[in-house]
A and B are shown apart, each in its own frame.
Chain A
Amino acid sequence: MNQKLDQKPGEVVFDLNARSEEFLETFFRKGAEFTEQLLQEVQRSRGEIARLKEENIKLRSQLASDDAVRDLLVKVKELEEEKRSIRETADNVVREYRDYEGRYMEMEQELDQMANLYVASAQLHVAMDPSEVFSVIEQMLMQFVGAAKIGIFLRRGTDDAPSLVPVHAFHCDAIKGTRIEWNQGAIGECAATQVSYIMEPGSTSAQGAPIACIPLLFGTTTIGVIAIYGLLEQKKNFVRVDYELFRLLAEHSSSAIIGSGLFSRSENLADVLGCFEGI
């Protein structure tokens, strides 16, 4: 160790010690400060880590929640599609049901119509004499159509000058004893043209004029006319089934009248059957 000669012994040692202490003091102080800073930094880092952990948890749950929402949206879309499909099917079913219902109603109406026509036809052809046939026609028109005033006219006179006379009157006594010329008025025209005359619903007929005329056709010949002068209070207009009944009356009444007329003139059934000998 080098030592200056003019220095007192121990004086140098004192300085060195002081400096050493000073150094150590500084060293430890700085160390403490550094440690302090380090601890603070560690503390801060812990806080930061805790915050980040918390944020991470939040983000994870957010992500899970987003996934759930996404899944739900997909599910909703699927359900919407299913709902649309079910609704479409239901609409089709309702449409088909309505279609069937309509067809069922039509069939019901057809059935009623056929029942009416069957009953009318059967009753017409079981009558044994013309007056019975006239009563059946009257009943048919009253019960099935709702006619309140009815007249039945038959052809009289020669082929050159035919006319019509009433043979049955129901609630229309005014026609009794009258004679209608061929092709005169609604009844005469109906007989001559062989075309039914049916007034438009709601239109009013002239005083005493019929509201409907149906020709009685035997082959190509008109043998008479059925005239309707009025309807029951509750019957406002003719309906589809009435027209069918008029057609049946036009075609079947005449043969029933002629058949029953011939039968009533014969002595007995054997007499009638005798007419068919040789056929």
Chain B
Amino acid sequence: MKYAAIGYSMPNDIIFVDGTELKGIIGGGSFFAYTGLKLCTDDCLFIAAVGADFDEYYSEWWDGNNCSRDGLMFRTDNSIYFYVKYLPDGTYEEGTIFTEEYDKVCWAENFIVASEIEKYVAHGMKGLYLYGGNMDHLYCRTMQGYKDKYGLKIGWEFPQAYRILGNGQDDLGHIFDIVDYFSLNRKEAYKYFGVNTDADAVEELKKLGKPCYFRVGQDGAYFIDKGEVTFVPMISVRDNEVDPTGCGNISTAAAMWAFFEGYDPLRICIWAAICAGYNALQYGPYPKMDAETRAEAQKLMEELVIKFRK
């Protein structure tokens, strides 16, 4: 496969303020990223250690979209499974539906060590999406080896949380060293750079010198590369958006694909926003990831390119 997302899957129960529930909504940051890639190309893989009950939740979407099972490793008895409970004040709480202890075991056991990834990347893989700050020096050294050996490129979604070392510095430098592209959101950028405006964050990202897709929520997103900054506001594919969960993951992966495929910055921004737009149309991923949807999305992208260039 030419592209892959590696990470975790995670079904969710959503509990609304009025007490109604949606059960078993398929999700997980890396899974959403995979769906973003799937909207870009059929030539993509989800590499994940999953629960034995994976099919109970994912098979309808998975098989309906002809997704490969080559990257799935069945390790734990149950999937990592969260609930999201919306509260009357507009906030929400979330957590595991199992015990905290079992949840921790699932996260740890479902971690895929870098050496187990080689068989997937060794046959012409072009781009790999990674998420988070859970990658130590060994992991990054191994990934660098795959880059050198196979010409792999790495896209990275910046973590919500990361380790601060004893000297007060973050533990992300070795990750930055191996990535060819990365993405982060406004909250993450403000915290990381110690800034409080988008403009300041953009300046810091320019200084960092890595191609970056900077997401600013409902306001849109920037693509920053070689000192050039491109901005596109949020794009609605249709009017009936219901749930933004996963849009950040999807747009990160879609922008990665577009960048690695050589799209220009405007197209990268528009394409990523369109892919996120499809995801917002329902709870869970867009149900139909096929050539027809891709053609529709591509057509919309070209229309918007003309519009934004005017």
The finding on whether chains A and B are genuine partners in a shared complex, rather than unrelated, reads no
- Residues of chain B at the chain A interface (Cβ within 8 Å): none
